């Protein structure tokens, strides 16, 4: 286990374990016959030119970093599967016969654990991050630029901006990833094609009231931000379970958006804190976060608009104040139909080799989790293949994938490359 911790898996951006993973990945790429290099953000590249080095390249990738106390398949499976498929082609003398260049990229960072900024690796390649990204600091007040320098990578604003790929040189981007959800297991299929990645908004809600003694302030005279926040959180759950009962068919939301929300909208209150957080004190302030995801961007915006209005109404009713801050916003990504069709055919071919006749169609599904493909979609067309994981569990040591499903993923990727 390549980890910074002894008892669990943790590998954050350019940590000692991350650097070991970079060197190991580079060696695997070289063993597969790829030309390799590490760029000035810590991304590991392995490339083969095929029969035409000057045509647009297929980029393939996923991320090397993990969350704290992580599972071992998130990110890594996509990298290992791609390298393994290319190694098979290398062993059989087919690597140089590829019709276009293929480049595997092991992205240095996707999770956002260390610097609270996601897609540092793919975002740099796609050119969506400003040069000021280098000045972002972690909890120890160490900047990204300083961490790079500690690992013998000299990064300047100019070199950072030069990491962006020319869109004209790229044919497309494909990513293989564990599903991180229960759908494939429920339908009994090891592989699935991703039709789109949900857009995401993160809100921070601060509710301020009147701090007071728990024993002396009558219930009728309280301005309690805790109960206001509790009412708001229950509202969030209700609205996101049944958006059709709350949203109106007007300028903010169409019939098609509401139908889409009914099947894709998920909302989570993941953090909550109170001040002064004492058992005998009416809180003076409550802060909580809201994570809102949906495949329909207009629908998601309608949810935020309606939800914000209702949160403010609860605050007015309870004589407390509210502040809603937008902390993150990313639009939904629709995967390219051509790439999706090719991945679907490749998955079907792989499963047919393993199991014989396949009666059911390879499923298509939405991704509620963010992936490097979101950043790469700003550069080129994208496609994704999901692999079934046990119980839909991810970001946990219990994250697991059947050996046969890993084998299916590798065969599917090999089939995809052979039919480029």
pTM confidence score: 0.86
- Give per-residue pLDDT as tens, 197-221: 999 999 999 999 999 999 999 999 9
In whole angstroms, give the CA distance from residue 180 to residue 193.
14
Rounded to an integer, the average pLDDT of 259-288 is 92
Task: With a cut of 90, say whether residue 264 has pLDDT above it.
Answer: no
- Give per-residue pLDDT as tens, 104-140: 999 999 999 999 888 999 999 999 999 999 999 998 9
Question: And the tokens for 411?
Answer: 């065969």
- Strands 321-330 and 212-213, bridge-based pairing: unpaired
- Give per-residue pLDDT as tens, 215-258: 999 999 999 999 999 999 999 999 999 998 888 755 556 666 77
299 close to 261: Cβ distance less than 8 angstroms: yes
- Give per-residue pLDDT as tens, 70-80: 999 999 999 99
- Give per-residue pLDDT as tens, 144-166: 999 999 999 999 999 999 999 99
Rounded to an integer, the average pLDDT of 330-345 is 96
- Strands 57-63 and 170-178, bridge-based pairing: parallel
391 close to 220: Cβ distance less than 8 angstroms: no
Report angle CA 284, 290, 294 to the nearest 5 degrees: 165
Structural fold of domain 199-330: Alpha-Beta Plaits (3.30.70)
- Strands 285-294 and 102-107, bridge-based pairing: unpaired
205 close to 229: Cβ distance less than 8 angstroms: yes
DSSP 201-229: EEEEEEEE---EETTTS-GGG---HHHHH
Looking at every residue in the chain, the average pLDDT score rounds to 95
Residue 276, preceding peptide bond in cis (omega within 30° of 0):
yes
DSSP 113-136: TTTS-S-HHHHHHHT-S-GGGGG-
Domain ranges of the chain: 9-197+332-419, 199-330
Q: Class for domain 9-197+332-419, per CATH?
A: alpha beta
CA-based nearest residue to 301, from 335, 254, 268: 254
pLDDT in the model for residue 48: 98
Rounded to an integer, the average pLDDT of 256-263 is 73
Report angle CA 14, 19, 21 to the nearest 5 degrees: 120
Question: And the tokens for 263?
Answer: 């099947």
């Amino acid at each position: 286990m390549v980890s910074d911790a002894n008892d669990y898996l943790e590998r954050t951006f350019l940590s000692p374990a991350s650097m070991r993973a970079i060197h190991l990945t580079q060696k695997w790429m070289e063993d597969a016959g790829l030309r390799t290099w590490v760029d000035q953000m810590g991304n590991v590249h392995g490339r083969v030119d095929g029969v035409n080095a000057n045509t647009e390249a297929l980029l393939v990738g996923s991320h090397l970093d993990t969350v704290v106390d992580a599972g071992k398949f998130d990110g890594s499976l996509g990298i290992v599967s791609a390298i393994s498929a290319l190694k098979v082609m290398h062993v059989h003398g087919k690597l140089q016969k590829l019709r276009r260049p293929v480049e595997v990229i092991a992205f240095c960072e996707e999770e956002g654990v260390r610097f609270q900024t996601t897609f540092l690796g793919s975002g740099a390649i796609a050119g969506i991050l400003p040069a000021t990204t280098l000045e972002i600091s972690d909890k120890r007040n160490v900047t990204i630029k300083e961490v790079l320098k500690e690992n013998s990578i000299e990064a300047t604003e100019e070199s950072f901006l030069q990491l962006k790929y020319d869109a004209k040189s790229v044919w497309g981007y494909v990513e293989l990833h564990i599903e991180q959800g229960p759908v494939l297991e429920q339908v009994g299929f090891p592989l699935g094609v991703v039709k789109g990645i949900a857009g995401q908004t993160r809100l921070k809600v601060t509710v301020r009231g009147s701090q007071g003694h728990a024993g002396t302030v009558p219930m009728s005279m309280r301005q309690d931000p805790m109960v206001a926040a509790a009412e708001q959180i229950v509202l969030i759950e209700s609205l996101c379970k049944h958006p059709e009962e709350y949203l109106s068919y007007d300028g903010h939301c169409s019939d098609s958006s509401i139908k889409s929300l009914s099947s894709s909208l998920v909302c989570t209150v993941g953090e909550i804190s109170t001040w002064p957080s004492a058992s005998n004190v009416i809180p003076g302030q409550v802060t909580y976060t809201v994570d809102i995801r949906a495949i329909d961007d207009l629908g998601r915006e309608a949810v935020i608009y309606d939800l914000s209005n209702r949160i403010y109404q609860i605050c007015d009713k309870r004589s407390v104040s509210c502040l809603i801050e937008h902390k993150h916003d990313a639009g939904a990504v629709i995967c390219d139909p051509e790439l999706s069709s090719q991945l679907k055919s490749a998955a079907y071919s792989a499963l047919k080799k393993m199991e014989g006749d396949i009666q059911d169609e390879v499923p298509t599904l939405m991704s509620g989790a963010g992936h490097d493909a979101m950043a790469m979609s700003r550069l080129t067309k994208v496609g994704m293949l999901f692999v079934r994981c046990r119980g839909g569990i991810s970001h946990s040591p219990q994250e697991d994938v059947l050996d046969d499903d890993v084998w299916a993923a590798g065969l599917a990727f090999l089939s995809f490359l052979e039919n480029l």
